[in-house]
């Protein structure tokens, strides 16, 4: 539980904000120096997501997606804009969202909203999104804030919409990273938070072909 490793909630959030303000607004910056894994990441995410976008009675729509912890728009540009008519982006760092407007190029015209906000304070517009994509950012939320945010995401889904989390998973327990002021949870803890938010797990997949020295990365789809 994050309550065991986060001593001061205000400090936990303010230290993270300060950390990201000093990170260069580049793909390499977004990925902590691992920019070279971006294509592997995007290709796997696309395959994972497309299983829900295929034809069928419960097919997830392709009208609107939300990119949470969007940074400069790496995922918006390469994963979401090619698949969805419009995308909204939310990130706590204003400089990243400013950079996104040039980084996204012409296709960026289909980004409707750039929300500058921490996810602990953000509420997706109800009944609005086919896919809410949350990648490499849940570690910046306490357990309670993550559970509450996922509840708000659930309310933000259109019929047959899904919430997707893609993130690092610890081997056991909850590990604090003092450098960027984040936590890494194990699978059991994440499953419990998903259940607590009233979401049902539809699919879970471990990312392949990432460097051995980094945490295992898992993708979850829920509604």
Interval 60-79: pLDDT, tens: 999 999 999 999 999 999 99
- Residue 98 tokens read as 């400013």
Q: Is-contact 116 21, C-beta < 8 A? A: no
Q: How far apart are CA 50 and CA 59, in angstroms?
A: 10
92 has binding-site annotation:
yes
Average pLDDT in the chain: 97
CATH number assigned to the domain comprising residue 151 = 3.40.50.150
The secondary structure of 94-113 as a DSSP string is HHHHHHHHHHTGGGGGGEEE
CA dihedral 122, 82, 137, 205 (to 10 degrees): 120
Alpha helices in 54-142 (DSSP H): 74-75, 94-103
Q: Check the annotation: does 120 bind a ligand.
A: yes
Residue 91 annotated as binding? yes
Sheet of strand 201-206: strand arrangement: 111-116, 86-91, 64-68, 129-135, 157-169, 216-222, 201-206
Please tell me whether 78 is known to bind a ligand.
no
Q: Using one digit for the tens of pLDDT, what is the confidence trace for 115-166?
A: 999 999 999 999 999 999 999 999 999 999 999 999 999 999 999 999 999 9
Q: Which of 136, 174, 164 is nearest to 45 (CA)?
A: 164
Using pLDDT thresholds of 50, 70 and 90, give the confidence band for residue 210: very high
CA 144 to each of CA 78, 135, 147, 188, 210: distance values in angstroms, whole numbers, following the listed order? 31, 18, 5, 16, 30
Residue-wise pLDDT tens digits, 34-55: 999 999 999 999 999 999 998 7
What does pTM read for this prediction? 0.97
d(CA 59, CA 119) in angstroms, rounded, equals 27
Q: How far apart are the first and last CA of the chain?
A: 23
What residues make up the domain containing 31? 2-222
Residue 74 known to bind ligand: yes
**6 annotated to bind ligand:** no
Does 171 show up as a binding residue in the annotation? no
Q: Is 207 annotated as a binding residue?
A: no
Q: How large a percentage of the chain has pLDDT more than 90?
A: 95
Q: Which helix (H) or strand (E) is 46 found in, with range? A: helix 38-53
Split into its structural domains, the chain has a count of 1
- Sign for the CA dihedral angle at 132, 135, 218, 174 comes to negative
């Amino acid at each position: 539980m994050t309550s065991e490793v986060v001593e001061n909630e205000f400090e936990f959030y303010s230290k993270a904000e300060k950390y990201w303000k000093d990170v260069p607004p580049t793909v390499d910056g977004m990925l902590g120096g691992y920019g070279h894994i971006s294509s592997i990441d995007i290709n796997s995410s696309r395959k994972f997501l497309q299983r829900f976008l295929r034809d069928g009675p419960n097919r997830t729509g392709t009208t609107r997606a939300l990119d949470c912890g969007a940074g400069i728009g790496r995922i918006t540009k390469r994963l979401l804009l090619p698949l969805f008519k419009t995308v909204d982006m939310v990130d706590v760092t204003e400089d990243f969202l400013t950079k996104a407007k040039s980084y996204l190029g012409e296709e960026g015209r289909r980004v409707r909203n750039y929300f500058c906000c921490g996810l602990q304070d953000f509420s997706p517009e109800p009944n609005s999104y086919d896919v809410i994509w949350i990648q490499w950012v849940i570690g910046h939320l306490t357990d309670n804030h993550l559970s509450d945010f996922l509840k708000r995401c659930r309310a933000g889904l259109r019929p047959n919409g899904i919430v997707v989390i893609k993130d690092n998973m610890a081997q056991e327990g909850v590990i604090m990273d003092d450098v960027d002021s984040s936590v890494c949870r194990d699978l059991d803890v994440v499953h419990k938070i998903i259940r607590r938010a009233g979401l049902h797990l539809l699919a879970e997949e471990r990312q392949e072909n990432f460097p051995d020295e980094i945490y295992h990365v898992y993708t979850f789809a829920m509604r």
